[in-house]
């Protein structure tokens, strides 16, 4: 699979669907990946996204140290790997190895971008807000790319199941998108 560029001011369409992301960050020799359901686009110009990351997450520590993160969008074929990345901490295990995730540094950030994911959104932190037991990091989108086969300006939800982004209902329950409809 190879990814094509998505204009940064259209990167919100990768997230619009409310899909689960694999949030990555790196600082010096350390790196982390965790499942993330709480994200949303918050501005088109400049292109900004917000993510809510628990105070105790190792990934939050790396985002604070590096000022960068990447949102990688897994297809349903990566469901068990996503659940694993959302229940084990990088403080205990190398989750990239544990989930057999291939990765490289992003184009514009050092946060890892995951090869098997359908898309990625690379961000530089421009604001951080403490909200109860989570940090809200606001990131400016610096680069974005998606598998051409599955995204043509918006998700082609006709792709086979393993290549569909999916949503989190809670616990170990997830949701696959249904039909695309227009008014």
Ligand X SMILES: Cc1cc2nc3c(=O)[nH]c(=O)nc-3n(C[C@H](O)[C@H](O)[C@H](O)COP(=O)(O)O)c2cc1C
Among the listed residues 27, 38, 107, 108, the single contact to ligand X using CB under 6 A? 38
> What token pair was written down for 48?
């900004």
What SS3 state is found at 118? Answer: coil
User: Does residue 30 touch ligand X according to CB under 6 A?
Assistant: no
Among the listed residues 31, 32, 72, 81, the single contact to ligand X using CB under 6 A? 32
Candidates 30-38, 65-73, 107-115, 152-160; binding stretch for ligand X (CB under 6 A): 30-38
Cβ atoms of 124 and 109 within 8 Å: the answer is: yes
User: Does residue 37 touch ligand X according to CB under 6 A?
Assistant: yes
Q: Which of residues 125-144 bind ligand X (CB under 6 A)?
A: 134
Q: Which of residues 65-124 bind ligand X (CB under 6 A)?
A: 83, 86-91
User: What are the angstrom distances between the C-alpha of 168 and each of 64, 81, 149, 177?
Assistant: 25, 14, 24, 11
Q: How far is the CB of 57 from ligand X (least distance, A)?
A: 4
Measured between alpha carbons, how far is 28 from 118 in angstroms, rounded to an integer? 26
Cα-to-chain-centroid distance, residue 62:
15
Among the listed residues 11, 14, 19, 35, the single contact to ligand X using CB under 6 A? 35
> What token pair was written down for 19?
């899909």
């Amino acid at each position: 699979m190879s990814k094509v560029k998505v204009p940064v001011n259209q990167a919100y369409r990768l997230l619009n669907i409310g899909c689960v992301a694999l949030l990555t960050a790196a600082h010096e020799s350390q790196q982390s990946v965790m499942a993330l359901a709480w994200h949303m686009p918050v501005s088109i110009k400049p292109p900004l996204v917000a993510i809510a990351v628990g105070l105790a997450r190792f990934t939050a520590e790396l985002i604070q140290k590096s000022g960068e993160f990447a949102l990688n969008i897994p297809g349903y074929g990566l469901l068990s790997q996503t659940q694993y990345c959302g229940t084990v901490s990088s403080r205990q295990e190398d989750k990239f190895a544990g989930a057999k995730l291939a990765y490289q540094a992003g184009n514009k950030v050092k946060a890892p971008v995951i090869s098997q994911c359908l898309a990625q959104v690379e961000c530089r932190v421009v604001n951080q807000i403490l909200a109860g037991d989570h940090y809200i990091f606001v990131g400016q989108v610096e680069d974005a790319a998606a598998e051409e086969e599955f995204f043509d300006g918006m998700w082609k939800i006709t792709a086979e199941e393993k290549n569909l982004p999916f949503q989190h209902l809670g616990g170990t329950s997830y949701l696959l998108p249904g039909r695309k409809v227009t008014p």
